[in-house]
Structure 1
Amino acid sequence: MTTSPATSHDDLRGRADVDAGLRILLVEDDEGDALLVQEHLADAGLAGGIVWARSVDEALAHLDVDCVLLDLGLPDAMGLGALERVLAAGAPPIVVLTGLTDTDAGLAALAVGAQDYLMKGDVEGDSLARAVRYAVQRRRLEDTDRALYRSLVRAAETTRLERALLPRPVLADPRLEVRVGYRAGRDGLLGGDFYDVVERPDGRVLAIVGDVCGHGPDEAALGATLRTAWRTLVLADVPAGEVLVLLERVLEAERARPEVFTTVSMLAIAPDRRSADLYLAGHPVPLLLGEHSRLLPADSRGRALGIPVGGGWPARRLDLGASWRVLMYTDGLLEATVGPGGERLGKAGLMELTDATLRATSGAPVPVRGQEEDPVLGHLIGAVRARHGGDLVDDAAVVLVGWGA
């Protein structure tokens, strides 16, 4: 065998390896025609994995192949009906073999979904092998294009959800330290964790961190809806004590299932920055940061939003003093596994890593939102991931608010 200058021996070996692995289903009821096709395939080096079926019914049990060679004149299906039945069953690429000399039949087969068609009387080993190879490659390219399209759609949807879930804080006071951070869970998809920080015209600042139960696109969409509703209520100057009541109404109206609930922690910081009201709706208790961080009081803890039991969300007044920092977070950080026995990081572990992070990032600037990851919260989430040993299973949303520190 001779080769052209443009075809290397490595290329031929690579193609031979691919050809040797091709699995071909021949659907042909005529034994003589079937034998002839198999001889052509053998001459072209494609005889390694041929399955022969004599009818459509028999062929449907053998579609786990790379290509189908389909005769249109079979005992249980004639013409395009045979092709349509095989395609409807999820067949791989199909090359139609027809005994008709009328090209209209072949063109009709292409219109229905065949990759190629060949006249039986004109079939030779090279043309048959070429049709099979091209059909397989075209289908692989189509599959790749579809996968790329799905990936682009998923990325675009993730970006839209990210803008809704992870907004730019609305602040007028440059002296207030506000840092935000978010890290998606293991699959890379946004979940139902959300946050926001908004300063009202009177100087009061409200911050929220929330977590819709579950993980997936429905939860992410609901989290985005709740985050938008919360900002709307805050900007409309709804009293802080009424915000969660109204937010629960939005949750009940928008959730897909009645068992879906949402946990929330909300901080309403006074204009003088020396006190704040803490609202807890079934959510992990925020940390008061310092040399040794500690949990804020949780004696006024309320139920999660959407849980059909009595009770509301009383405010817990916090006297913060002249200098303070508060860390709000979702339970994706607490639930990181950190040992061979599967034990959780928990609140004690989070406080330990938070204190170490504050020492390591002392003096770190607050970046412009959207330009880069916050060095403090990025370091903290990274430390949790390192202790966990990889990507976290659940999302993690974090907000740090501070004054005079």
Structure 2
Amino acid sequence: MSSGDEPNAERAGPFGPDLPAVPRVLLVEDDDGDAFLVGELLTDAEITVELLRVRTVAQAAAELESGAVVDCLLVDLGLPDAVGLAAVERLRRSTQRHGLPPALVVLTGHSGVDQGVEAVGAGADDYLVKGETGPDLLGRSLRYALQRRRSLAEQRELYRSKVRAAETARLERALLPKPLVDDPTVSIMVGYLPGGGGLLGGDFFDTVQRADGSVLSVVGDVAGHGPDEAALGATLRTAWRTLVLTGTPPQDVPGHLERVLLTERASPDIFVTLCQVHVSADRRTVDVHLAGHPAPMLLTGPVGAVRCDPVVPTSRGRALGIPVPGGWTAQRLTMDGPFAVVMYTDGVVEAALHDAGAGRAGRRTSERLGVAGLGAVVQDELDREGFVGVVERVLHRVRALHGGPLVDDAAMLVVGWTGAVDVVGERSAMLADSAEWAR
């Protein structure tokens, strides 16, 4: 027997909210008289069900394994091919692939409760004793079994959601690397703001001091979202750090990193944008390599009067993984005092301003923060509260302007030099997870 029904939609009805209005009940009973009695009890209870019947556990298992929609099983514990708990265990195995397994109520001919209690312990939701069950008791048992099965499924899904959220948070924290910099006069502030879509992104960033004292920093963004992109971002960050630590010249790093990308990416349409900053050992020059990535911003000036200016790109290279000619040439910036370079992924500047009163007059829902808007936010935070903690404050402001979690992941890295051997640089790392930012 096969009902051939489409998957059962949730319909409000006499069994309660979120339960089927007309449950499909599969009766597993070999005795015609007992089967007739069950039908009469359901009629007397004024409960409308779609009652189907099979005579053996094997037939019931075949129905369940075929994908037939069944809301509740009524199972006799004295069947020709399965006696007692064997029937319960066999049918529960047959429902393992069901997203919401049917409720299971056993029918026992024994007047004692031992067999019924054992069946519940083996996975049944309730038990009824033949000859002692009236319409009201049968109706109550069906309602209870259906609701209990629904509640257990919801609890299981809630647990799985919590586990997935915890795993995502652990992976996001693992993507927040510890900079390898010994020079105490170098400032490094990093921040990562996960997007609100529930999928991990491929943003990555890192900072390493080389043996000659120079400092290299990188911010990259893998196109797309999901575990594959996140894993690729982690792979590229590790590859980048390895290249730097093994003495690869900064100008050669993008090309080698592209070779890793071409080998590791899941499909040929995946590309990576990149911003690499090389601070010379004497802190007098900063070389910027751009691979299809937003240009950084430059912070200069004395304490209390720090100015934020965009770096106007004069040598932007193609994104990694794009099959077009062209390489990557450094743009050199000359420094004559304290400075900091602000790097970020496009998730920051693509934040949509949710309304005109979100902190920047005249902005509409369709407008983005943009590079100019981000520069204004950074400058405002520098003017109000200074350099310390600026990354966290800026990301907090961006999220507030957006009106909630960003669609895309957003990463920000600030690397700089204090300008004096007796002035210690700022060091901070921030992951804005949902629990922290809910406060």
**TM-score normalised according to structure 1 size:** 0.79
After TM superposition, give the deviation of residue 220 of structure 1 in Å: 0.7
State how 1:203-214 maps to structure 2 within 5 Å.
203-214=213-224
Matched, 1:149 2:160: yes
Contact 1:95/1:116 (<8 A) preserved: yes
- Determine which of 270, 288, 291 is the counterpart of 1:278: 288
The Cα offsets for residues 201-235 of structure 1, whole Å up to 9 and x where unpaired, read as 21110000000001111111111111111111111
- The equivalent of 1:118 in structure 2 is 107
Task: Give the partner amino acid of 2:347.
Answer: G
The Cα offsets for residues 39-58 of structure 1, whole Å up to 9 and x where unpaired, read as 4644xxxx3xx33244xxxx
After TM superposition, give the deviation of residue 148 of structure 1 in Å: 0.9
Shift of the 34–340 alpha-carbon distance from structure 1 to 2, 3 Å rule, reads farther
State how 1:93-108 maps to structure 2 within 5 Å.
94-98=72-76, 100=78, 104-108=82-86
Task: Give the partner amino acid of 2:334.
Answer: D
Shift of the 20–145 alpha-carbon distance from structure 1 to 2, 3 Å rule, reads closer
After TM superposition, give the deviation of residue 103 of structure 1 in Å: 9.4
Shift of the 100–123 alpha-carbon distance from structure 1 to 2, 3 Å rule, reads farther
The answer for unaligned runs of 5 or more in structure 2 is 1-12, 93-103, 110-129, 301-305, 354-362, 420-439
Matched, 1:311 2:322: no
Contact 1:357/1:380 (<8 A) preserved: yes
Q: Distance in 2 between matches of 1:52 and 1:320?
A: 80
- The equivalent of 2:126 in structure 1 is none
Q: Distance in 2 between matches of 1:277 and 1:217?
A: 32
- The equivalent of 1:52 in structure 2 is 50
The Cα offsets for residues 289-325 of structure 1, whole Å up to 9 and x where unpaired, read as 2454222131111000000011111111110221111
- Determine which of 45, 60, 74 is the counterpart of 1:82: 60
- The equivalent of 2:39 in structure 1 is 35
Q: Which secondary structure state, in structure 2, belongs to the residue aligned with residue 196 of structure 1?
A: strand
Matched, 1:323 2:338: yes
Matched, 1:378 2:392: yes
Contact 2:275/2:291 (<8 A) preserved: yes
Contact 1:302/1:312 (<8 A) preserved: yes
Contact 2:15/2:143 (<8 A) preserved: no
RMSD after superposition: 2.7
After TM superposition, give the deviation of residue 351 of structure 1 in Å: 0.6
Matched, 1:25 2:24: yes
Matched, 1:202 2:212: yes
- The equivalent of 1:186 in structure 2 is 196
After TM superposition, give the deviation of residue 134 of structure 1 in Å: 3.7
After TM superposition, give the deviation of residue 135 of structure 1 in Å: 5.4
State how 1:204-353 maps to structure 2 within 5 Å.
204-290=214-300, 291-338=306-353, 339-353=363-377
The Cα offsets for residues 147-197 of structure 1, whole Å up to 9 and x where unpaired, read as 41353144225413531x220111101111110001000134431111101
Q: Distance in 2 between matches of 1:134 and 1:103?
A: 25
Shift of the 312–244 alpha-carbon distance from structure 1 to 2, 3 Å rule, reads same
Q: Which secondary structure state, in structure 1, belongs to the residue aligned with residue 49 of structure 2?
A: strand
Contact 1:285/1:295 (<8 A) preserved: yes
Q: Distance in 2 between matches of 1:206 and 1:41?
A: 77
The percent of aligned pairs where both chains have the same amino acid is: 39
Shift of the 282–181 alpha-carbon distance from structure 1 to 2, 3 Å rule, reads same
The answer for unaligned runs of 5 or more in structure 1 is 1-16, 55-70, 365-374
Q: Distance in 2 between matches of 1:349 and 1:310?
A: 33
Task: Give the partner amino acid of 1:400.
Answer: V
Matched, 1:140 2:140: no
Shift of the 316–109 alpha-carbon distance from structure 1 to 2, 3 Å rule, reads same
Q: Distance in 1 between matches of 2:185 and 2:14?
A: 65
State how 1:360-399 maps to structure 2 within 5 Å.
360-362=384-386, 364=388, 375-399=389-413
Matched, 1:129 2:140: yes
Contact 1:281/1:301 (<8 A) preserved: yes
Consecutive aligned runs of 4 or more in structure 1 exceeding 6 Å deviation: none
- The equivalent of 1:372 in structure 2 is none
The number of residue pairs the alignment matches comes to 352
After TM superposition, give the deviation of residue 340 of structure 1 in Å: 2.8
Task: Give the partner amino acid of 1:155.
Answer: A
Task: Give the partner amino acid of 2:167.
Answer: A
Matched, 1:403 2:417: yes
Shift of the 86–41 alpha-carbon distance from structure 1 to 2, 3 Å rule, reads farther
Contact 1:268/1:277 (<8 A) preserved: yes
Q: Distance in 2 between matches of 1:223 and 1:350?
A: 24
Shift of the 86–382 alpha-carbon distance from structure 1 to 2, 3 Å rule, reads same
Task: Give the partner amino acid of 2:313.
Answer: A
Contact 1:241/1:314 (<8 A) preserved: yes
- Determine which of 54, 62, 67 is the counterpart of 1:72: 54
Contact 2:57/2:91 (<8 A) preserved: no
Contact 2:76/2:107 (<8 A) preserved: yes
Task: Give the partner amino acid of 2:350.
Answer: E
**TM-score normalised according to structure 2 size:** 0.73
Q: Which secondary structure state, in structure 2, belongs to the residue aligned with residue 289 of structure 1?
A: strand
